[in-house]
Structure 1
Amino acid sequence: MKKMKARTKWLVPIIALLLILSGCQTVGGFDVNKALLGDIDVKSSESSTTMTLSAVPAAGISAEDQEVVDLINSLSLTLGHVKMQDNATLSATGVVGYKELKIPFSLYMDQKNMVFTAEGAKQPFYIPLESNEMLLGLEVADPAKTMEFSKLVSQFVIKNLPNPGAINVSSVSEAVYGQQTSLTKLHTEITGEEFPVLLKSFLRAVSKDTEGFTALIGGFYDYMYPLLKDRAEDLSSIGLGDIPLEDKEGVVTVVHDAAKLAVDALLLVYDKQLENLYESTPELKTVLGKDTKLSVDIFVDSGFHVRKQNMELNVALPAGSDMPLQSINMKLASETWNVNGSVTADPISTTGAIDVTNPEMTPGETLRSFESGSALHKMLKDEMKITSKSLMIAPDDDYYYPIVEDGTTYVPLRYVAEDMDAKVEWDAPNRAIKVTDDVYGDQLVFKIGSAQAVIAGKTVKLPKAVFVDEYGDAYVPLRVLAQGLHATVEVDDDGYIWIDRP
């Protein structure tokens, strides 16, 4: 079975956003369809993108909420140079902004892996794409069908979308990658108030577009049938009622009729359901109000390729004690050059790289992958606190099964230590258990039958010798174990034990 090789283009989310802004109608003699579909056939390009967020705080918010606002306002992403070699291969360099930190990074993606590294990382990190595709069931019969179906969806959506109230076209000269270029500027605006109206118009157009709707479903059938055929042992067991899956015409007809019926049923109750939604969720009137606004400028060359994009989305938020923001704003700007030219992505080797999908990777291992003085190390440890850990043990806990003797709580060493991300090893010759702390690397040694333990090189006397219960679990004093793993222990008034590592 072939793997899916045609990947989503780097800026497809931006194009997808434009699809909700403009329909098929010509504006000032300019073919909007061609402008929005022009990039689908682009095989290679170079580009840059910047994105920033800003939030306006609500009046009288707490200091804690203000910290959240400040965090949002500090976030930014700059992709200084994206090289799309083909639909499956690209590289990018950029900077992530987080609070006062600026973190440069590099990324490379091909058919097998997505590899990335950042300033302060001791080695690259990677995500194996092929294995994830197989896990998620994303294999398809023919890579060409992926692109074909993507184009079909885009054409169908664009064909049936109405134009918003504010849309205009003008001829301009703009700098793209330092070169002055003659472009056509398409400006569109949509407010939150318009969105429900545009959505209803779109559904009406879809309902009437029998030919396009049928073609779309037929394209989906062609896209998915090879996958189902390769995976199913007996296709005769799969179908729609009396219609077998091999009968494309029958399947497409049934699915189309059912989908059209669903769209028509929705249209019949659309206004009433929208009214009910506003009544049950009055806050939605603010989000879908006049102060929510999306404004987009796209700049298209003579080949109908998008060369620049400027987008601003402002979302008004409802007032309330649980909402510390009045509004949140996102701005995005990009430019593209060397369209369909010779582009070579910059590879990053996976030699010595860390697989971030490995479920056995501990927080300590992650932290040690970065230089201790680097911005990323600081962010992960101090800001994101990836190494912090909390456990709760109930008085009658049937998992940890604590044992209390003479005022001392004993717990099964392995369960607690491993849940604190520590490594536990059995030293058979010495009948000892070695525990290695995940974050600081300290070693704890408990010997069966001994009332002494070695904690980070120091001998510690225990109130009772390490013992093994009837199930073979070695028990040690909780406080000694927790403190050796740099954690604190507290007991509340109800007898619940809380173990916390900051």
Structure 2
Amino acid sequence: MNNRIFRSMRTRLGLLLLASVLLIAAGCQAIGGLDFNKALIQSLKVTSSESKGSVQFNLQLNEAALDSGDYNEDEIGLLRLFSNITLKFDEMKQQDRNHVSIKGKLILGDKYNIGFIVKQDKETLVMELEGAKAPFVLDLTSEGLLEVTGQTFDGELTPETEQSLTELGFKLTDLIGGYAINNLPNPKGLKVAPVTESINGQQVSLLHASFEMNGEEMLAWVEGYLEALLKDEAGLKAMIKGFVQLMSDEPELWGVLGVENPFASSDSLDAPTADEIADEMAQEMVAFMKDMQEELKQDKQNEYLASSGVFTDALKLKASFYVDSKLDIRKSQAEVSYTDPTLAEQEEEGYYQPFTGFTVKVENEQWNVGGAVTADKAVAAENAVDAEELTWLENYEILGYFDENSDLYSLLKNELHMARQTYSAYSDDYYNPPIIVPGYITIVSLRDVGEAFGAEISYDAASKTATLYDALTDTTIKVKVGSDKAVVNGVTEIWPFPATKINGSVYVPARKLAEALGADISWEPLYEDIKELVIEREL
């Protein structure tokens, strides 16, 4: 857990948002009869449960910015569409660490409501999307996943090895929890009180813990956590030594990975002992945490971060947890919000950000924790599509897997423009730039535009004829270097400038080429004398 925390801390602007996540999942000293440290460790060990929940994201749009002319119609449309997102999990069943099923929906404002079902076992993940013509299947075996990434796998993952690795995970949880979790300080303003709450329609007696913190308090919490970790030298050394011992005693792990155990004892006289390895790792960890402390100090002095308000009331966190007598977290609610305090300065400078703030809300409740749960089976239908196939397709080809009358198809085509093809080039490009010739005629590389649209290009040196075939529109274009005649689907046209060979590439009039391909064309000014040529079409 601590490695993930420290790595994330390096992201400066995300620093206090990370603190929010940590605080949401944080343990603390026992208060009001509730030991959050034990509850957190307990939650990491849960292997079966039933639950439901949601994640909501709201973006507060800056209407002045949207009306300023700085954003085009597509950008404004996407901002509005994704300013209100809800991911609902109506039914989640975790049978064990390998068998899970989820039913839910993705809601985008009041425009799109897309249902989904995910079923997973240790070998297969099946996803059914509302609007898809067939389910999608992903091979989760080591061989399958590595095949997707182009890697190889030589290990053998037997049921016995899987069980051994699962037990190893539990041991690591206990080991790391003894240091990383037990040193977590109390969030400021933590309150604990007994309550009765409805969980899946049943009234349950619980301990309710809640707190609120702003950006300044979250930063202080992170600083206090780092200080506590550094002071606990004995805990750090015990954790590192225990980790080294566990790793050296697990030949199955390294066998599965197909690599030599770096922690195994060696007969070499100059080989470091397990204690020496642990001491070196502990020293590196201490140095790393001290670096993080120094970065925090620098961040507090950073003018940009200070002006952004992340160290003030502009950033806020609210969290509530409901824990039962077995220390299982049965219900949780968390909200992170941010309001940009620099809006007045933006107005003075004439620069507008498209949003003024955001809110993220996460809710979850679970029951039958640790009980007998049966997840829906991950059985692929006969017409299921291998998800790996999609990685080799063009965006417009992927659309063919969805019903044209569905919300999902509309989202992909009309909002995300997956059927859009675009060629763009800048007037100062080094390689094949668009060129404006006398008469204010723009000429472009036939090959570059054709390839951007997925067309086939060929050139006959003997006749000096270039041929473009666009299968998507069944269009054939032939031009001859030095001639202003173009043959489009067998019909000869006179173009305003002859086909010209420049640095090995055949150039033709851009507007006539765009018309032949059913595309729109425009010059977009950028700055000074630099412009961008855009040729674009929707299939």
TM-score (norm 2): 0.73
Change (3 A) 1:369 1:219: farther
Counterpart AA for 1:106: I
Matches of 1:69 and 1:189, distance apart in 2? 29
Counterpart residue number, 2:413: 381
Residue identity opposite 2:301 in structure 1: N
Q: Could you tell me which of 264, 282, 286 is aligned with 2:306?
A: 282
Following the alignment from structure 1 to structure 2, what is the Cα–Cα distance between the partners of residues 75 and 328?
A: 11
CA gap of 1:88–1:482, structure 2 versus 1, over 3 A, is farther
- For 2:121 and 2:20, the matched residues in 1 are separated by 23
CA distance in 2 between partners of 1:196 and 1:291 (Å): 13
**One-letter amino acid matched to 1:283:** S
Q: Shift in Å at residue 272 of structure 1? A: 4.8
Are 1:51 and 2:55 matched, yes or no? yes
Distance (Å, rounded) in 2 between the aligned partners of 1:491 and 1:63: 22
Distance verdict in 2 for CA 1:69–1:155, change over 3 Å: farther
Residue 171 (structure 1) aligned to one of 191, 194, 203? 194
User: Residue 500 of structure 1 aligns with which residue?
Assistant: 536
Between the aligned partners of 1:198 and 1:494, the Cα distance in structure 2 is: 49
- What residue is the counterpart of 2:126 in the other structure? 115
Q: 1:374 to 1:181 in 2, by over 3 A?
A: same
Amino acid of the structure 2 residue aligned with 1:205: A
How does the TM-score come out when normalised to structure 1?
Answer: 0.77
Deviation at 1:362, TM superposition (A): 0.6
1:443 counterpart residue number: 474
CA–CA separation in structure 1 for the residues paired with 2:478 and 2:64 = 58
Measured after TM superposition, the shift of residue 467 of structure 1 is 9.1
CA contact (8 A) 1:40 1:151 kept: no
Question: Structure 1: how far apart are the matches of 2:433 and 2:77?
Answer: 40
Is the deviation greater in 64-73 or in 340-349?
64-73
Counterparts of 2:320 and 2:298, CA distance in 1: 33
Deviation at 1:494, TM superposition (A): 6.9
CA distance in 2, matches of 1:104, 1:178: 23
Greater shift after overlay, 206-215 or 474-483? Answer: 474-483
Alignment gaps of 5+ in structure 1: 1-12
Amino acid at match of 1:360: W
Residue aligned with 2:413, SS: helix
1:161 alignment counterpart: 184
CA distance in 1, matches of 2:210, 2:476: 69
Amino acid of the residue matched to residue 331 of structure 1? Answer: K
Conservation of the 8 A alpha-carbon contact between 2:478 and 2:488: no
Deviation at 1:37, TM superposition (A): 1.9
Counterpart Cα distance in 2 of 1:324 and 1:494: 25
Q: Aligned in 2, Cα 1:397/1:330: closer, same or farther, shift over 3 Å? A: closer
CA distance in 2, matches of 1:396, 1:276: 40
Name the stretch that deviates more: 192-201 or 51-60: 51-60
Q: Does 1:318 align with 2:349?
A: no
1:273 match: 298
Structure 1 stretch displaced more, 307-316 or 405-414: 405-414
Give the secondary-structure state (helix, strand or coil) at the position aligned to 1:281: helix
Q: Map 1:93-108; keep pairs closer than 5 Å.
A: 93-99=103-109, 100-108=111-119
1:207 to partner: Cα distance: 1.1
Using the TM superposition, give the Cα deviation of residue 402 of structure 1 relative to its aligned residue in structure 2, in angstroms.
7.4
Instruction: Determine the structure 2 residue equivalent to 1:124.
Output: 135
What is the 5 A alignment of 1:478-493? 478-479=510-511, 481-490=513-522
Tell me whether 1:195 sits opposite 2:218 in the alignment. Answer: yes
Do the aligned residues in 1 keep the contact of 2:432 with 2:505 (CA within 8 Å)? no
Alpha-carbon distance, 1:490 to partner: 3.9
Q: In the TM superposition, what whole-angstrom CA distance separates every residue of 1:53-112 from its partner, at most 9, and x where no partner exists?
A: 334455844337886764454211111111112112212111111132111112223334
CA distance in 1, matches of 2:201, 2:261: 59
- CA-CA distance at 1:393 after TM superposition: 4.1
CA contact (8 A) 2:500 2:506 kept: yes
Letter in 2 for 1:499: I
User: Is the CA contact 1:187–1:296 (under 8 Å) kept in the aligned structure 2?
Assistant: yes
RMSD of equivalent CA atoms: 4.4
Structure 2 unpaired stretches of 5+: 1-16, 347-351
Q: Percent identity?
A: 26
Equivalences for residues 29-428 of structure 1 within 5 A: 29-57=33-61, 60-63=64-67, 70-99=80-109, 100-129=111-140, 130=142, 131-132=144-145, 135=149, 143-144=165-166, 145-218=168-241, 221=244, 222=246, 244=271, 247-264=273-290, 267=293, 269=294, 272-277=297-302, 279=303, 281-284=305-308, 286-320=309-343, 321=346, 322-340=352-370, 341-347=372-378, 349=380, 351-355=383-387, 358-393=390-425, 399-400=431-432, 413-420=446-453, 422-424=454-456
Q: Deviations over 1:313-358 (max 9, x none)?
A: 2223222324344432222221112222232234252753142675
Distance 1:283 1:228, change over 3 A: farther
CA contact 1:46–1:343 (8 Å) conserved in 2? no
Q: Distance between the aligned counterparts of 2:330 and 2:276, measured in 1?
A: 43
d(CA) in 2 for partners of 1:14 and 1:182?
A: 31
Distance 1:149 1:368, change over 3 A: same
Distance 2:261 2:331 in 1: 50
Q: Residues 217 and 372 (structure 1 numbering): CA distance in 2 closer, same or farther, change over 3 Å?
A: same
Counterparts of 1:328 and 1:371 in 2: how far apart (Å)? Answer: 33
SS of residue in 2 equivalent to 1:38: helix
CA contact (8 A) 1:448 1:467 kept: yes
Q: Distance in 1 between matches of 2:18 and 2:531?
A: 54
Residue type of the alignment partner of 1:85: Q
Q: What is the CA–CA distance in structure 2 between the aligned matches of 1:401 and 1:60, rounded to whole Å?
A: 36
Question: Is the CA contact 1:444–1:453 (under 8 Å) kept in the aligned structure 2?
Answer: no
Q: Name the amino acid aligned to 1:377.
A: Y
Q: Which amino acid aligns with 2:282?
A: H
State how far apart, in whole Å, the 1-side matches of 2:38 and 2:336 are: 24
CA contact (8 A) 2:522 2:535 kept: yes
Alpha-carbon contact 1:434-1:443 (below 8 Å) kept: no
Q: How far apart in 1 are the matches of 2:19 and 2:300?
A: 31
Q: 2-side partners of 1:69 and 1:392: how far apart?
A: 23
| CA distance in structure 1 between the aligned counterparts of 2:223 and 2:52, rounded to whole angstroms | 35
TM-aligned CA deviation for residue 150 of structure 1: 4.2
CA contact (8 A) 2:131 2:402 kept: yes
2:39 maps to amino acid = A
Q: Which AA in structure 2 matches 1:250?
A: E
